[in-house]
Amino acid sequence: MSLFNDTERLQWVHAFIAGIPYARASNMQVTAASQNHATLAMPACGDWTGDAERQLTHPGVLTVLADTACGVAVGTALDVMEPFATLDLRMDYLRPAVADCELICHAECHRLSRSVAFVRGEIRQPGQDEVLATVQATFMRATASARREPAGAPKPGRASAEVKPQEASKPLPPTVTPALKPGVSPYVDYLNVHQSTGEGDEAPLFRLPFKPDLIGNPILPALHGGVLAGFAETAMVLHLVSTMGLSDGTPPRGVDFSIDYLRSARPVDTFAQATTIRQGSRVALVQVTVWQDDQTKPVATARGHFLLPRDQA
């Protein structure tokens, strides 16, 4: 028998969102919640722009919202609250999201097994009947929720906003620069992604510096899974921009994106390196590995298809 009625479920949803630093930083709001269903809205913000010239929202912003909404939908489906974490997530980008316009994601937990929850959802913008993106995600139930205590970790009871970064053991090479010129992609500026140029045939290396607003699970603590996804997408786009010489042209546009979470990401700097699996005349397939202290122990792997600019294909 469920321990939640609709009122208690809605109270839990609001408390859940309020407890996520990234959700607070992005001002996510719960607009509806019922058993197996959740709808979240993210207000427009200049920082969410991915392509300033065309005034388009960065696809990573959609992924963060989708991951959060899917997680809330899982929570509403549970009879007794328990820990859970994203296993994998897939986004299909049907059309670009315009900047300076609210994003709304409705998610449904359509299957709940003993170990795994299956969720699907859609993202729209107000005033548009067309779906911007669809999401499919799976979550592992009853994951560990004990706080980590590695050297230098915050002590129990410290507020999530006070979480301090630990030193990552693998620094970038000395020749490090911002991944893009300021203003080209405000979302990349917001994440503060930096790039080092690879030597010889080595692909560019990207770094996501830690900051407390990127926390998704303040109990462990761990970075928001959607932030990891947004960073992975950013690394793939920037990889294509760098390796194809697209810095002065229209950036590639995401067609689809999928990510597998291999372990939770600690509150430290995070690194990513991508590989072009296939580059056709119109579409490129890119794969990326995301890690923290040890490149041989990635926290996530992702892949995505990107539509190439016509004048560069």
Structural domains of the chain in order of their starting residue, each with its CATH number: 6-144+165-307 (2.40.160.210)
Mean pLDDT across 31-41: 95
Name the average pLDDT for the chain. 86
Closest CA to 289 of 271, 304, 305, 306: 271
**Per-residue DSSP letter, 166:** B
Q: Give residue 6's pLDDT band: very low, low, confident or very high (50, 70, 90).
A: confident
Q: Give residue 248's pLDDT band: very low, low, confident or very high (50, 70, 90).
A: low
Whether 151 has a pLDDT exceeding 70, the answer reads no
Whether 311 has a pLDDT exceeding 80, the answer reads no
How would you class 155 by CB atoms within 10 Å of its CB: exposed for 0-12, middle for 13-18, buried for 19 or more? Answer: exposed
Tokens 């719960």: give the residue. Answer: 30
pLDDT score at 200:
56
Whether 145 has a pLDDT exceeding 80, the answer reads no
> pTM for the full model?
0.86
Contact 30, 12 (CB under 8 A): no
Whether 249 has a pLDDT exceeding 90, the answer reads no
Contact 268, 168 (CB under 8 A): yes
Whether 37 has a pLDDT exceeding 80, the answer reads yes
Q: Which of the residue ranges 18-22, 121-125, 163-167, 187-191 would you say has the lowest mean pLDDT?
A: 163-167
pLDDT score at 247:
63
Q: Which H or E run contains 44?
A: none
Q: Give residue 143's pLDDT band: very low, low, confident or very high (50, 70, 90).
A: low
Q: Which of the residue ranges 136-140, 197-201, 219-223, 297-301 would you say has the lowest mean pLDDT?
A: 197-201
Looking at the chain, the whole-number percentage of residues with pLDDT higher than 70 is 84
